[in-house]
């Protein structure tokens, strides 16, 4: 892991370097943090020309904003992203425009730095189930995990039983020891988010590596807690007028009611589908029709189920 500061927060971004016979970096960070990532490679004794793949979980600027700059510094690296996001790496104009609309022109440059387009021949689109073969028996599997963004993917590494979760599981706020759902407008989708966490539970992983920030070996407990939080947030936001949804959510987060939920016991006693039903009942959350069936048939997020 190469820890990076971002948005004024010391430990916010954590790209990973995965080595086999080939070498991959997971997450680019921003253009502003790219020099620190390169310094991290130097510290690890890895030469820039030996990087074969730069893989991003999604194209938000804190994950992929620096990919264009890094592509210039890593001469052999192909840049990999989900097929629905890859074209925005080649032509980032829409991405830049929408980010400027949110933050303002100067702020985008200050926060993230210049966004540099990547030549199309260096970009490889990934879809669910695709394998990135690093050689030496290490093959990373792309897991399509929409919700945080419609083009989000995680990686599963069978060799270490590790999930590289990008932002599908939200943000770990280390200082206060909680996980916060990450629900950006306009594309966040609650039901897809929950389904994606369920999907990650199926991996039977022994460790989760977050992109924000660090890792945990307490996988099952953490994933169930995140499902509970997502459903709670959904319910809080839906429980009154749109105008004061933010205030309700802030109050709810302060009170941290979700911590009282005994999700670990439930996870042990029930199968996951039942747990979801129970949580939906407990919170009054309205799940998209068919989502439980999607899960039961273990199809959601797979090829043909976009």
Q: At what angle do helices 245-255 and 219-238 cross, to 10 degrees?
A: 140
Cβ closest to Zn ion, residue 213 vs residue 295: 213
Reference 124, options 64, 81, 172; nearest CA is 81
**Minimum CB separation from Zn ion for residue 208, in Å?**
15
Among 28-36, 60-68, 103-111, 213-221, which window interacts with Zn ion (CB under 5 A)? 60-68
Write down the least CB distance from residue 58 to Zn ion, Å. 8
Q: Which is closer to Zn ion, CB of 157 or CB of 167?
A: 167
> In this chain, which stretch among 100-108, 155-163, 164-172, 267-275 interacts with Zn ion, using CB under 5 A?
164-172
Binding string, 182-221, against Zn ion, x = CB under 5 A? ----------------------------------------
Q: Are 52 and 103 in contact (CB under 8 A)?
A: no
Distances (CA, A) of 87 to 92, 179, 210, 219: 8, 31, 25, 33
Report CA dihedral (45, 48, 54, 60) to the nearest 10 degrees: 100
Stretch that binds Zn ion, among 126-134, 137-145, 167-175, 240-248 (CB under 5 A): 167-175
- Regarding 62 and contact with Zn ion (CB under 5 A), the answer is yes
Determine, following the binding rule CB under 5 A, whether residue 130 of this chain makes contact with Zn ion. no
Least Å distance between CB 63 and Zn ion?
A: 5
C-alpha angle 61-27-186 in degrees, rounded to nearest 5: 35
CB of 24 to Zn ion, least distance (A): 19
* Three-class secondary structure of residue 24 per DSSP: strand
Least CB distance to Zn ion at residue 180 (A): 12
Q: Minimum distance between the CB of residue 181 and Zn ion, rounded to whole angstroms?
A: 12
Which residue in 27, 52, 157, 167 binds Zn ion (CB under 5 A)?
Answer: 167
Cβ–Cβ under 8 Å, residues 6 and 13: yes
Per rule CB under 5 A, count of chain residues that contact Zn ion? 2
Give the C-alpha separation, 61 to 229, whole Å.
Answer: 25
Query: How many other CB atoms are found less than 10 A from the CB of residue 272?
Result: 19
**Token representation of residue 54:** 């730069």
Q: Interface residues with Zn ion (CB under 5 A)?
A: 62, 167
């Amino acid at each position: 892991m190469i820890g990076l500061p971002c948005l004024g927060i010391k430990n916010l971004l954590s790209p990973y370097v995965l080595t086999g016979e080939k070498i991959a970096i997971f997450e680019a960070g921003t253009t502003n943090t790219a020099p620190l990532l390169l310094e991290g490679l130097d510290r690890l004794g890895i030469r820039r020309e030996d990087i074969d793949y730069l893989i991003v979980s999604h194209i938000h600027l804190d994950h992929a904003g620096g990919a264009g700059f890094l592509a210039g510094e890593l001469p052999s690296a192909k840049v990999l992203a989900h097929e629905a996001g890859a074209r925005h790496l080649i032509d980032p104009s829409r991405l830049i425009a929408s980010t400027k609309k949110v933050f303002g022109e100067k702020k985008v440059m200050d926060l993230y730095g210049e966004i540099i387009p990547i030549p199309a021949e260096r970009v490889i689109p990934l879809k669910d189930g695709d394998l990135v073969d690093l050689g030496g028996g290490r093959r990373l599997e792309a897991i399509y995990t929409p919700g945080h963004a419609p083009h989000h993917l995680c990686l599963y590494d069978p060799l270490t039983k590790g999930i590289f979760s990008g932002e599908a599981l939200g943000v770990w706020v280390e200082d206060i020891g909680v996980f916060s759902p990450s629900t950006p407008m306009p594309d966040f989708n609650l039901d897809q988010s929950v389904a994606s966490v369920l999907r990650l539970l199926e991996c039977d992983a022994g460790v989760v590596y977050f992109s924000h920030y660090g890792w945990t070996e307490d996988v099952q407990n953490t994933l169930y807690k995140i499902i509970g939080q997502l459903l709670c947030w959904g319910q809080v936001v839906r429980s009154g007028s749109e105008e004061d949804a933010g205030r309700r959510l802030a109050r709810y987060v302060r009170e941290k009611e979700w911590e009282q939920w005994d999700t670990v016991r439930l996870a042990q006693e029930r199968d996951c589908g039942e747990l979801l039903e129970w949580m939906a009942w407990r919170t009054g959350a309205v799940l998209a029709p068919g989502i439980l069936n999607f899960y039961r048939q273990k199809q959601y997020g797979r090829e043909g189920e976009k």
